[in-house]
Structure 1
Amino acid sequence: MRPFRFLASIGELHDGPGLAAFARRAESIGYSALMAPDHLLAQYAPVPLLTAAAAATEKLRVGTFVFNTNLRHPAVLAQELATLDRLSGGRLDIGIGAGWNKPEHDAIGIPFEPVGTRVAKLTEAIQVLKGCFADEKLSLEGEHYTITAFDAQPKPVQRPHPPFFIGGGGKRLLTLAAREAQIVGLAPRLGKDANGLPALDAPSITLAATEEKIRWVREAAGDRFAELELNTYPTGGPMVVTGNAKAEARRRADDLRRRTGATLTTDDVLESPHVFIGTVPQLAEKLTFLRAHLGITSFLLPDTEAAAPLIEALADN
């Protein structure tokens, strides 16, 4: 059985010393990796940020949750990532996705293409990245990228390439992740709210929906399924340590109904692999259940300090 891995995320802007202190604190708590998002919002660019975090730590892995493949040519990104992997001594995880935030595309004039096109582009981008990391020259003539006898440099420390982290809530993306990734993110699906903007599809955070997603991954991965690390994260709301889990779950269910129109029961919320509510022993029991029942061993827990007692309780498990 795989050991637990906990991922921290950078949720605020730090100065240089503040970032170094944050990364070292995450490492001391027992987090396995520090993840940075990739958006054209009020945040630092992920590659220099993660380079600084890696320089301040000794064992903490660094990665993205996740790169938007539409914002960079993958051959250019490959050089940046290989450099980061070398500078960190082989501590990079590569989270990459098809992009979902239409307003940031619109703001800089990048077409927000239909989901099928974006997934096809992501699929080719992964081919380019893996080809750039390989020893031989890369040639590829795809629908979206054309590469001719390109000897990408430098090469990463991790061979044949750093682990890829790919996730999704639908069968198309999870099938791609099952075939190409080493870490598969089990995400909720996105619907649209009354204004046509992306919104959580609340039923997709349930235990039953997650079981279905894992069946898709298992079917697509075939013999390599046992090699995959499965990840989830608290999209159903922030982690709350409380002795009255049912009351908090009722509030969470009411909030989801107001925001999405979907009706989930208190038990639906408490059982969800995307919701973490309860005492530290209850949360430890839940994560142990998710590992035993679903094979989920990787958890992104953004509230670094709140999660510290839980990570300590599950140390060496």
Structure 2
Amino acid sequence: MRPFRFLATIGDNDGYSDLIPFARKAEAMGCSGFVIPDHLMGLAPLLPLAQVAAVTERLRVGTFVLNNSLRHPAVLAQELATLDRLSDGRLDIGIGAGWNKPEYDAIGIPFEPVGVRIKKLAEAIAIIKGSFGDGAFSFDGEYYTITDLDDIPTPVQQPHPPFFLGGGGKRLLTLAARQAQVIGLAPRILAGDVPRLDAPSITAAATEEKIGWIREAAGERFAEIELNTYPTGGPTVITSEPRAEAQRRADRIREKTGVELTVEEILESPHTYIGSAKELTAKFLELRERFGISSFLIDDLDALAPVVEALAGQ
């Protein structure tokens, strides 16, 4: 069993005015990482992460996750290597294919089919990893071309910082199984002008299927992969009446998606944090035992403090 790791985060619409005390608090509580999302409507992630690294000693910093469509991978490689050096080797590289169509529309870039976005992501990962090596680097792909790129700074972590890839579909999870050190088990997002949750993909049964895809694609390296999950469909709720809250959650999901989920499916979901601190501690232990999930993004540091203090590093 891998030891538990907890990732703290701050909302992408927050002004980050409390960023420094929040990061210090997360480190003192036992969180192992601090991650920031990447959306155009919020502050950019890499500069605040440099600030977090500067005011902490052990806390790893990372993105959850970068949208590959928004940056050229060679430019991103330079920025990531710089951040890894500024943090003295504490960077985790979270990167994804992009999913939020309104962001693409707002800046006039095409929201290409998911297969194209995943192919571009695969090439971008190859470029980022290749750029971190010694000597000139070239790459001739379908979407990117690099010719004798040299002198990008090398990261402290060699051959590269850990990659975090996540997704809810088989194609992206297959790529993650072959390229990532940490894989986020995400729900599927249904494409459209207003992206929405594919509700059945948050269930334990769907999680089991996703892990099966990862295991098949990873082969022998599956044992080296850390699995992560995070709350979806609603925030963490600490309550002595979890079934009542789960029913309210199920009702909201039905109203938004038309999908019927049972109270049991909601409470069993790896993406739902509902219950007392004691119950959630037991749930995280069960998720590690059943699925091998040992990394958890937490959306409410204060509410989950007893869970983190009980399980971090165990």
Corresponding residue number in structure 2 for 1:13: 15
Q: Distance in 1 between matches of 2:233 and 2:221?
A: 30
1:255 paired to 2:283: no
Corresponding residue number in structure 2 for 1:180: 179
Instruction: List structure 1 segments (4+ residues) > 6 angstroms apart after TM superposition.
Output: none
Secondary structure at the aligned position of 1:197 is classed as coil
Gaps of 5+ in 1: none
Corresponding residue number in structure 2 for 1:229: 226
Gaps of 5+ in 2: none
175-184 or 298-307, larger mean C-alpha shift: 298-307
Corresponding residue number in structure 2 for 1:304: 301
Corresponding residue number in structure 1 for 2:87: 88
Corresponding residue number in structure 2 for 1:111: 110
TM-fit CA distance, 1:20: 1.4
1:136 paired to 2:135: yes
TM-fit CA distance, 1:148: 1.1
Q: Distance in 2 between matches of 1:28 and 1:166?
A: 27
| Cα 1:184–1:316 shift into 2, 3 Å | closer
TM-fit CA distance, 1:13: 1.3
TM-fit CA distance, 1:19: 1.8
| Cα 1:214–1:27 shift into 2, 3 Å | same
Q: Distance in 2 between matches of 1:14 and 1:223?
A: 41
Corresponding residue number in structure 2 for 1:246: 243
TM-fit CA distance, 1:315: 3.5
Secondary structure at the aligned position of 1:117 is classed as helix
Corresponding residue number in structure 2 for 1:220: 217
TM-fit CA distance, 1:311: 0.5
Corresponding residue number in structure 1 for 2:168: 169
| Cα 1:50–1:96 shift into 2, 3 Å | same
Corresponding residue number in structure 2 for 1:285: 282
Given that residues 206 and 273 in structure 1 are in contact (C-alpha distance below 8 angstroms), is that contact kept between their aligned partners in structure 2? yes
Given that residues 5 and 312 in structure 2 are in contact (C-alpha distance below 8 angstroms), is that contact kept between their aligned partners in structure 1? no
Q: Distance in 2 between matches of 1:290 and 1:217?
A: 17
1:201 paired to 2:198: yes
Secondary structure at the aligned position of 1:252 is classed as helix
Q: Distance in 2 between matches of 1:20 and 1:83?
A: 20
TM-fit CA distance, 1:30: 1.1
CA RMSD of aligned residues (A): 1.1
Secondary structure at the aligned position of 1:250 is classed as helix
- Write the letter of the residue equivalent to 2:24: R
Query: Which of 291, 295, 311 is equivalent to 2:292?
Result: 295
- Write the letter of the residue equivalent to 2:234: G
TM-fit CA distance, 1:203: 0.5
Q: Distance in 2 between matches of 1:246 and 1:302?
A: 21
- Write the letter of the residue equivalent to 2:108: G
Tell me the percent identity: 65
TM-fit CA distance, 1:181: 0.3
Q: Distance in 1 between matches of 2:184 and 2:225?
A: 10
Given that residues 240 and 276 in structure 2 are in contact (C-alpha distance below 8 angstroms), is that contact kept between their aligned partners in structure 1? yes
- In the superposition, the TM-score normalised over structure 1's length comes to 0.96
Given that residues 237 and 275 in structure 2 are in contact (C-alpha distance below 8 angstroms), is that contact kept between their aligned partners in structure 1? yes
Per-residue deviation, residues 187-224 of structure 1 (Å, max 9, x unmatched): 0011257xx52110111000000000000000000000
TM-fit CA distance, 1:113: 0.9
Q: Distance in 2 between matches of 1:152 and 1:75?
A: 11
TM-fit CA distance, 1:236: 2.8
Q: Distance in 2 between matches of 1:169 and 1:35?
A: 20
